[in-house]
Structure formats: structure tokens, C-alpha cells
């Protein structure tokens, strides 16, 4: 490791990840626009990715825990793939909803109730 | 045949299966006859073959074990048959009398439809199977199998004409009365298992006999419980009420099941378990008292009955009372002796009555009979032989057995058995009075049916005829047996040789000697007690003269020029007494008020209150209502708004984090 580079402490990255997650969650709860909810959702997923990446970076240094680092990286790719699929399905849904009511305000789609 | 006893009951069982099949295929009567009567005939041959084999070898008790039937914990019950003197006696007359009655049924039932004919013989075969299992079974549970089997067949055959409500109800009455008794019987079996660890006759009886003092208390309890079963099956007070109504069945059924064989199962059971009764003297005393009371009680009812079969039914109850009286004073061989002679003459009486009913086109009321002596001589003479036998006239069969029982009862009084000598004197007096009444009502029946002039309609008179040979042949065979059957038990008094009393000598091994040092030894010793030759001769003459007196009274009441005048005057003078007896002391009505109606009301309460309101209303419908109500309220949580759901998920996660922290 280059001695001039001071590594960012893992805790900092995790704080950032937590903040991003909470922002995402609040976004999901408060936004009405479907696309915005979607974006907030992506934010939550990526906050998780960030946490994975931070651990992968931390464990990569020692040879004994290199396998763990690989685990974290693989999970990131899984999440990205899932998010992509989700986005595809979600956008298709919104298009269908828009065709019906000419809006994607989720509060107006409450017909599946008692 | 010895070594494969199972063949004997199997043969009638095969007959039962064949008849079911033939009835289903609506086969001709001749085929049913071959299957139904043939199977019982073969079983009779097999039984006698086994008996001869048994007599030729020295062992007195042979148990054949086939397989383990029940195995639970320490208890095992084998499917096993046993043959010993008692089984030999029972099996000998059950198969033989059963076969004769099957032959008689060919003629009696020929008017039925093909299916009904097959059904009749199927049930009769099943009965023979069950009765043989009862007699051969080597343990109480196996005996109980036969015990229930004969009860079932009795129910099926009483309700044979089930289109008639009265017949169906009578069948039910018999079944229910027997079930009440069977509760006691089953409890007795359980108690036997609990106390002795086994209910095999060859295991628990010797244990009990070896330690009479130790088991005295339990033996009393077991004896009484088993006797409750006997009061049901053998129609004793208080469960006798079903037997008179059992006459609703066809007459051969009354002869076979409700006179000769099934109803004597209770006596057989008491004699089989005689050790239990001897070491628990209180149970033995109860047997004697119930027997004595039933003997006179049923006899008194028979006096005023006008239905020919009802008279015989009450007479059967009364004679069964004698048998229990005999067993109750420790004269077990005499009780079985009376079972055998009774099987001969009572089967004959019923078959004779059946022959009469057959001639009178189904009429059973003796008031519209009379003068049948001339039309049906065979029936008359055989019937007369049986009547003399039941009345106890020397030298007919009933004389020896009845006198043996009465003599032993008197001896029990004389030897002050169990310190209840006075009670046995009273029982003896009841027995001798019942003997008088028996002679009276039996000859009343004979005079009303066979003597005088025919009192029915002209049309009926024209129809009168003697029965076909299939019916008269069994009558003649049983008639001969009713005359000579008593000679298997000639008392020592008459011959001077105890061994000439064949049946008592033969049945000796059945009464297992008790262990020493117990008061019950007196009970065992009573069989040796005698009141002295002089008194015995006196007793013999007393019972004989009392029987003759009964016959003479019946003659003056119901025969000759002035027939029916004295009874009419008697009724006029004591209308209340007559009404009481005519209505059987209103016992059926009392049972109805005291037992049946309260039970009925209780059942109604269970139905209307417990079942309809609590179970159906509160539990079943209440559960459904609560589920619906909860759903009605909780469904408002389902807003359909995605953000509400998202909020609940977020709150849930927060909650989890807080909890897990």
C-alpha cells in the first residue's frame, strides 16, 4: 500500500451508506410520483452496494480474507442485475398505469382494497 | 375331530356365508335347506365325533391354542378352544337340539319367500356358530365374542318380520336390555384381568381356587359383575323384560334361542366360573335369591297370559330362575342338568306351540283354540310329554332335575350355608310354590289348547291340520328325550349308587376344589351334605304331590263341563289381583316411567340444549361468526395505497431493529 495514501476509514463509508439508505427510504415513503419512488428505491439499493464495496475493499488487503472480498463484489453485481430487471418491469407497469389513468401518481392507484 | 375343534363352529359359519350368497342370488329353497340344515348337521356330527374322542382319552381339560388374538402389555388373549365335561354337555345338546330345530324350520318356514327363507337360515347358522364359540371359548373374552354373537342373532331373528313395528321394537328391546347387562359383563372381564392378570379359564380359576381367602373380596365383585351380564342374557330380574317380547320372532327361533340354548348362557357362565362364586359367597347368595324370586315371579305372570307363546316365555324365565337357584346353592351340576332337560322339554313345548300356531293359521290366542287333540295327535302327545316333564312328574325329565335343585336348596337351608339357612328355606318354599304354579299354568295351557271344543271360527276349523313330517319328527325325537332325558341324573337316593347320577359324576372335575383353611370350604362341602334319606324321600314326595295338585286344580278350572267357570268367578272376586297379574305387575310401565322416560328426556335435553344450542350454536356457529367479525374489522387495513404498505414495512423494520438491539 502506498504510504502517502491515507485510506478512508470504513466507518465513514458506512455512515454515507446509511445516510443514502435513509434518504432513499424517506423518498419512497413521501414521493407520489412513481418514477421518483423508483429513483429513491435505486438509491436504497445502491447504498447497500456501497456498504458491500466498502467491506470488499477492507477485506481485500489480507490474503486470509480475500475470499470474503470476492463475496462482497459478487453481491454488488447481483444487486445491479436485480435492479435492472426491476427497473424494466417497473417502467413497463408505469406505462400500463399511465395508459389507464393518464397519471403515475401512486395514490390514485388504490383500487386493490377492501 | 379332537385336535381341530375349530371345525365345529366353522361349519355353521360356512353355512351362514353360503346362505347369504344364496339369498342374494334368490336361490331355490332346496339349496338353502341343504346349506342351512346340512351345515348344522355336519357340525353336530363333528361335535359328537369330538366328544367321543374326548371320552376315549384320559385328560379332563384339553385346551387348543390357535393363535394370539390380543397382545397388549402383560395381557395376552389366545384364540383358543377348550373341551372339558361342561363343554361336552353343553355342546352335545346345543348341536343336537339345534339340528332338530333346523329340521323343524324347513316345514315351519316353507311359506316364506325365497329370500326370507335364506335370510332365516343364514341367521340361524350364524347363531349356531356364535353359540358354539361361547361354549368352546377358553377365556372370558372369547366367551364374550360368542355371548355378543348370540345376542346379535337374537336381535336379528326377533326382528325377522321387521316390516311389523312391534317385531322391530321387540328386537331392539332385547338388544338394549342385553347391552345393559353386558356392561356388567365387560367390567367383570376387566376386573378379572386386573386381579388375576389373565382371563383364561385354565389360568385364573386355579389361582382363585388356590388362594380363596386372598381373593374373596375381588371374587365377590367379579362374580356380581358377571352376574349382571347373566341377568340380561338369561332373562332374570330385573332385566327379564325382553324375553316375553322376544316371542315376536318365528317360533323355531323362540325354541332354539329363547328357550333351549342362548338364554342358558348365563347359567353356563356361572357354572364355568363357579370358583369365583364359591369363594365370594355373597355373590353366590345373590345368584340364589335372584333365581328363586324370578322363578316364582315369572310363574305367577304366566298364569294369566292368553298368548300361547307368552305363557311359554314366562315359563322359560321361571325355569331359568330354577337353574340360577340351583347354581346359587352350589349345586352346579344340578343347574346344568336342568339346563339340559329344560332344553329338551322347552324346545319341544315351543315347537309344539309352533305346530299349533301353524295349524291355527298364525293365531296365538288360546281363548280361540281348543279340541286340537283330535286333529293333531302327534303334536298333542309330544306336547303332553313335555308338559309332564316341566311339571316335574316322575319319571319325566324335568322331575329329576327340578327335584335335584329343590332338594339341594333345602339341604343348603338344613346345613345353614354361609349362615343364611333361613333364607335358603324361604327360597326352597318359593321354589316349591313355583313348581305348583308351573304345573297349574302348563296344564291350563294344555286344556285350553287341546281339550274341549274348538272355539275359533268355522273357516279356521276347516283349516286345522297336523303338521308335515319335518315338523313332527323333531317333536317325536324331543318327546322321547323329554321322557327319558332325566335318567342321566338319577339321584343316589333312588339307586344307592352315586355314580349312577351320570351327569353329576361327569361334571365333577368342573368344580375345582378350593385351597384349605377357608370358610368357603363349607360351600364346596355342601354338595356332600344331605338332609338324610328320610327327609329326602319326603321332599321328593312333596314336590311330586304339589305338581299333581297343580294339575288337578288346572283340570277343575279348565277342563270338562264347567270349564272356565271357576277362573271367571276368581276374576270376579279379586279383580285387582287379576288385573295386576294380567298386566305383568305393570313392570313395563314402571320401567317406562322410571328409566325410559327420564332417559328419553335426558336425550332430548342433550339434543335440544347441549347439541343444538351449545355445540352447534356457540361453538360451531360462534367460531364462524367471530372469524367473520374479525375479518370485517381488519379488512380496513387493506387500503390499496402502496405508500401505506411501504410505511408499515418501514415501521416493521424499525421495530425489529429496536427489538433486536
Grid-cell match 279379586, residue found: B574
Question: For residue B437, what pLDDT band results from cuts at 50, 70 and 90?
Answer: very high
Nearest to B641 among A25, A28, A110 (CB): A110
pLDDT at B119 over 90: yes
Asked if ipTM goes beyond 0.90, one says no
Better pLDDT: A55 or B387: B387
Residues of B in contact with A107 (CB under 8 A): 641, 643
Query: What is the per-residue pLDDT for A76?
Result: 93
Note whether B436 and B497 are same-domain residues.
Answer: yes
pLDDT at B238 over 50: yes
Given B532, B564, B582, the domain boundary residue is B582
**Cell numbers linked to B231:** 341377568
What mean pLDDT do residues B12-24 have?
Answer: 94
Query: What is the per-residue pLDDT for A2?
Result: 62
Q: Cβ of B636 and A32 within 8 Å?
A: no
Note whether B176 and B298 are same-domain residues.
Answer: yes
Q: Cβ of B640 and A107 within 8 Å?
A: no
A76 min Cα distance to partner chain B (Å) = 22
Q: Which residues contact residue B533 at a Cβ distance below 8 angstroms, ignoring those fewer than 6 apart?
A: B493
Better pLDDT: B24 or B460: B24
Find the residue in B nearest to A25 (Cα).
Answer: B650
pLDDT at B522 over 60: no
What burial class does residue B597 get, using C-beta atoms within 10 Å of its C-beta: 0-12 exposed, 13-18 middle, 19+ buried?
Answer: exposed
A113 min Cα distance to partner chain B (Å) = 4
Nearest to B643 among A107, A112, A113 (CB): A107
Find the residue in A nearest to B653 (Cα).
Answer: A25
> Helix-strand-coil percent breakdown of chain A, rounded to 5?
80, 0, 20
Question: For residue B525, what pLDDT band results from cuts at 50, 70 and 90?
Answer: very low
Q: What is residue B69's three-state secondary structure?
A: strand
Nearest to A29 among B638, B639, B646 (CB): B646
A25 min Cα distance to partner chain B (Å) = 8
Grid-cell match 338344613, residue found: B414
Min mean pLDDT across B172-176, B188-192, B266-270, B468-472 is at B468-472
Residue span of the structural domain in which B76 resides: 1-138
Q: Cβ of A107 and B647 within 8 Å?
A: no
Query: What is the per-residue pLDDT for B652?
Result: 94
Query: What is the per-residue pLDDT for B530?
Result: 55
Q: Does B635 touch chain A (CB under 8 A)?
A: yes
Residues of A in contact with B647 (CB under 8 A): 29
Query: What is the per-residue pLDDT for B524?
Result: 45
pLDDT at A84 over 80: yes
Test mutation, A24, A90, A110, chain B, max B CBs within 10 A:
A110
Residues of A in contact with B646 (CB under 8 A): 28-29
Size of interface A-B (CB pairs under 8 A): 30
What is the per-residue burial (b if ≥16 Cβ within 10 Å, else e) of B157-186?
bbbbbeeeeebbebbebbbebbebbbebbb
Find the residue in A nearest to B650 (Cα).
Answer: A25
Better pLDDT: B158 or B281: B158
Note whether B555 and B492 are same-domain residues.
Answer: yes
Residue B401: name the closest of B308, B237, B264, B522 by CA.
B264
pLDDT at B516 over 60: no
Note whether B408 and B527 are same-domain residues.
Answer: yes
pLDDT at B500 over 80: no
Query: What is the per-residue pLDDT for B488?
Result: 87
Q: Are B366 and B448 in contact (CB under 8 A)?
A: yes
pLDDT at A17 over 60: yes
Q: Cβ of A25 and B647 within 8 Å?
A: no
For the entire predicted model, the pTM comes to: 0.81
Q: What is residue B70's three-state secondary structure?
A: strand
Question: For residue B463, what pLDDT band results from cuts at 50, 70 and 90?
Answer: confident
Q: Which residues contact residue B373 at a Cβ distance below 8 angstroms, ignoring those fewer than 6 apart?
A: B380, B450, B451
Q: Cβ of B639 and A29 within 8 Å?
A: no
Q: How many domains does chain B have?
A: 3
Q: Where are the alpha helices (DSSP H) in B510-574?
A: 521-525, 533-558, 565-573
Test mutation, B646, B653, B654, chain A, max A CBs within 10 A:
B646
Given B524, B557, B582, the domain boundary residue is B582
What mean pLDDT do residues B279-295 have?
Answer: 92
What burial class does residue A65 get, using C-beta atoms within 10 Å of its C-beta: 0-12 exposed, 13-18 middle, 19+ buried?
Answer: middle
Note whether B316 and B396 are same-domain residues.
Answer: yes
Q: Does B599 touch chain A (CB under 8 A)?
A: no
What mean pLDDT do residues B337-349 have?
Answer: 94
Q: Are B416 and B507 in contact (CB under 8 A)?
A: no
Quote the strand ranges of B195-322, DSSP E: none
What burial class does residue B254 get, using C-beta atoms within 10 Å of its C-beta: 0-12 exposed, 13-18 middle, 19+ buried?
Answer: buried
Test mutation, A24, A29, A93, A104, chain B, max B CBs within 10 A:
A29
Residue B88: name the closest of B148, B132, B127, B139 by CA.
B132
Note whether B77 and B201 are same-domain residues.
Answer: no
- What is the H or E stretch that residue B72 is in? strand B62-72
Q: Cβ of B642 and A109 within 8 Å?
A: yes
Question: For residue B519, what pLDDT band results from cuts at 50, 70 and 90?
Answer: very low
- What is the H or E stretch that residue A113 is in? none
pLDDT at B403 over 70: yes
Note whether B133 and B143 are same-domain residues.
Answer: no
What is the per-residue burial (b if ≥16 Cβ within 10 Å, else e) of B510-544?
bbeebbeebebbbbbebbeebbeeeebeebbeebb
Better pLDDT: B575 or B81: B81
Q: What is residue A105's three-state secondary structure?
A: strand
Residues of A in contact with B634 (CB under 8 A): none
Note whether B131 and B143 are same-domain residues.
Answer: no
Test mutation, B634, B642, B654, chain A, max A CBs within 10 A:
B642
What are the backbone angles phi and psi of residue B76, rounded to the nearest 5°?
Answer: -130, 140
Test mutation, B630, B635, B643, B650, chain A, max A CBs within 10 A:
B643
Query: What is the per-residue pLDDT for B1?
Result: 65
Query: CA–CA separation, B89 vs B91, rounded Å?
Result: 6
Note whether B49 and B3 are same-domain residues.
Answer: yes
Note whether B235 and B300 are same-domain residues.
Answer: yes
Note whether B511 and B546 are same-domain residues.
Answer: yes
Q: Which residues contact residue B239 at a Cβ distance below 8 angstroms, ignoring those fewer than 6 apart?
A: B177, B178, B180, B181, B231, B232
Q: Cβ of A29 and B643 within 8 Å?
A: yes
A59 min Cα distance to partner chain B (Å) = 26
B598 min Cα distance to partner chain A (Å) = 54
**Cell numbers linked to B532:** 338324610
Note whether B649 and B617 are same-domain residues.
Answer: yes
pLDDT at B321 over 90: yes
Q: Cβ of A114 and B647 within 8 Å?
A: no
Q: Does B194 touch chain A (CB under 8 A)?
A: no
Given B89, B105, B138, the domain boundary residue is B138
Amino acid at each position: 500500500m502506498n504510504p502517502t495514501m491515507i485510506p478512508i476509514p470504513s466507518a465513514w463509508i458506512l455512515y454515507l451508506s446509511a445516510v443514502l439508505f435513509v434518504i432513499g427510504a424517506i423518498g419512497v415513503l413521501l414521493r407520489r410520483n412513481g418514477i421518483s419512488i423508483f429513483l429513491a428505491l435505486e438509491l436504497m439499493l445502491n447504498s447497500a452496494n456501497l456498504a458491500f464495496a466498502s467491506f470488499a475493499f477492507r477485506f481485500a488487503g489480507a490474503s486470509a480474507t480475500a475470499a470474503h472480498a470476492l463475496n462482497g463484489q459478487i453481491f454488488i453485481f447481483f444487486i445491479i442485475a436485480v435492479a435492472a430487471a426491476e427497473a424494466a418491469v417497473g417502467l413497463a407497469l408505469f406505462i400500463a398505469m399511465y395508459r389507464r389513468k393518464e397519471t403515475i401518481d401512486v395514490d390514485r392507484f388504490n383500487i386493490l382494497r377492501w | 375331530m379332537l385336535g381341530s375343534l375349530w371345525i365345529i363352529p366353522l361349519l355353521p359359519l360356512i353355512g351362514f356365508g353360503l346362505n347369504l350368497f344364496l339369498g342374494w342370488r334368490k336361490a331355490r329353497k332346496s339349496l338353502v335347506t341343504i346349506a342351512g340344515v346340512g351345515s348344522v348337521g355336519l357340525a353336530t356330527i363333528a361335535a359328537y365325533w369330538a366328544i367321543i374322542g374326548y371320552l376315549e382319552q384320559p385328560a379332563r381339560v384339553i385346551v387348543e391354542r390357535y393363535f394370539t388374538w390380543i397382545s397388549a402389555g402383560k395381557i395376552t388373549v389366545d384364540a383358543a378352544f377348550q373341551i372339558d365335561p361342561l363343554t361336552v354337555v353343553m355342546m352335545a345338546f346345543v348341536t343336537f337340539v339345534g339340528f332338530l330345530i333346523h329340521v323343524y324350520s324347513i316345514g315351519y318356514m316353507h311359506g316364506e319367500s325365497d329370500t326370507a327363507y335364506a335370510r332365516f337360515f343364514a341367521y340361524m347358522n350364524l347363531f349356531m356358530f356364535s353359540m358354539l364359540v361361547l361354549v368352546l371359548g377358553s377365556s372370558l373374552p372369547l366367551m364374550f365374542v360368542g355371548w355378543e354373537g348370540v345376542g346379535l342373532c337374537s336381535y336379528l331373528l326377533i326382528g325377522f318380520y321387521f316390516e311389523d313395528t312391534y317385531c322391530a321394537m321387540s328386537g331392539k328391546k332385547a338388544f338394549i336390555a342385553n347391552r345393559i347387562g353386558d356392561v356388567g359383563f365387560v367390567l367383570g372381564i376387566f376386573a378379572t384381568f386386573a386381579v388375576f392378570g389373565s382371563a383364561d379359564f385354565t389360568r385364573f380359576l386355579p389361582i382363585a381356587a388356590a388362594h380363596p381367602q386372598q381373593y374373596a373380596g375381588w371374587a365377590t365383585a367379579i362374580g356380581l359383575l358377571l352376574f349382571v351380564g347373566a341377568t340380561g342374557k338369561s332373562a332374570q330380574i330385573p332385566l327379564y323384560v325382553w324375553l316375553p317380547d322376544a316371542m315376536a320372532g318365528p317360533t323355531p327361533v323362540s325354541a332354539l334361542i329363547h328357550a333351549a340354548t342362548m338364554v342358558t348362557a348365563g347359567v353356563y357362565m356361572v357354572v364355568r366360573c363357579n370358583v369365583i362364586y364359591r369363594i365370594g359367597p355373597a355373590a353366590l347368595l345373590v345368584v340364589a335369591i335372584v333365581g328363586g324370586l324370578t322363578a316364582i315371579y315369572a310363574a305367577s305372570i304366566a298364569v294369566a297370559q292368553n298368548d300361547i307363546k307368552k305363557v311359554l316365555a314366562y315359563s322359560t324365565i321361571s325355569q331359568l330362575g330354577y337353574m340360577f337357584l340351583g347354581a346359587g346353592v352350589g349345586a352346579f351340576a344340578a343347574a346344568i342338568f336342568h339346563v339340559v332337560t329344560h332344553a329338551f322339554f322347552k324346545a319341544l313345548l315351543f315347537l309344539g306351540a309352533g305346530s299349533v300356531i301353524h295349524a291355527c293359521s298364525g293365531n296365538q290366542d288360546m281363548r280361540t283354540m281348543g279340541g286340537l287333540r283330535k286333529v293333531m295327535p302327534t303334536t298333542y302327545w309330544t306336547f303332553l310329554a313335555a308338559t309332564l316333564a316341566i311339571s316335574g312328574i316322575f319319571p319325566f325329565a324335568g322331575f329329576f332335575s327340578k327335584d335335584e335343585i329343590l332338594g339341594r336348596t333345602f339341604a343348603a337351608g338344613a346345613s345353614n350355608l354361609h349362615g343364611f339357612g333361613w333364607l335358603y328355606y324361604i327360597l326352597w318354599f318359593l321354589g316349591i310354590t313355583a313348581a305348583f304354579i308351573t304345573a297349574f299354568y302348563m296344564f291350563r295351557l294344555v286344556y285350553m289348547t287341546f281339550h274341549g271344543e274348538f272355539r275359533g271360527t268355522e273357516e279356521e276349523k276347516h283349516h286345522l291340520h297336523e303338521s308335515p313330517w319335518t315338523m313332527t319328527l323333531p317333536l317325536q325325537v324331543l318327546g322321547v328325550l323329554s321322557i327319558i332325558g332325566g335318567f342321566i341324573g338319577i339321584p343316589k337316593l333312588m339307586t344307592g349308587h352315586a355314580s349312577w347320577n351320570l351327569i353329576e359324576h361327569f361334571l365333577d372335575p368342573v368344580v375345582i376344589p378350593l385351597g384349605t383353611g377357608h370358610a368357603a370350604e363349607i360351600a364346596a362341602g355342601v354338595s356332600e351334605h344331605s338332609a338324610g334319606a328320610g327327609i329326602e324321600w319326603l321332599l321328593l314326595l312333596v314336590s311330586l304331590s304339589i305338581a299333581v295338585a297343580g294339575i288337578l286344580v288346572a283340570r277343575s278350572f279348565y277342563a270338562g263341563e264347567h270349564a272356565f267357570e271357576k277362573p271367571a268367578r276368581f276374576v270376579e272376586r279379586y279383580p285387582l289381583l287379576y288385573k295386576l297379574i294380567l298386566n305383568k305387575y305393570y313392570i313395563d310401565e314402571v320401567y317406562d316411567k322410571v328409566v325410559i322416560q327420564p332417559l328419553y328426556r335426558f336425550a332430548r335435553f342433550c339434543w335440544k340444549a347441549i347439541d343444538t344450542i351449545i355445540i352447534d350454536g356457540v361453538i360451531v356457529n360462534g367460531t364462524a361468526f367471530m372469524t367473520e367479525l374479525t375479518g370485517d374489522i381488519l379488512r380496513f387495513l387493506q387500503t390499496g395505497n402502496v405508500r401505506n404498505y411501504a410505511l408499515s414495512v418501514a415501521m416493521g423494520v424499525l421495530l425489529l431493529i429496536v427489538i433486536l438491539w
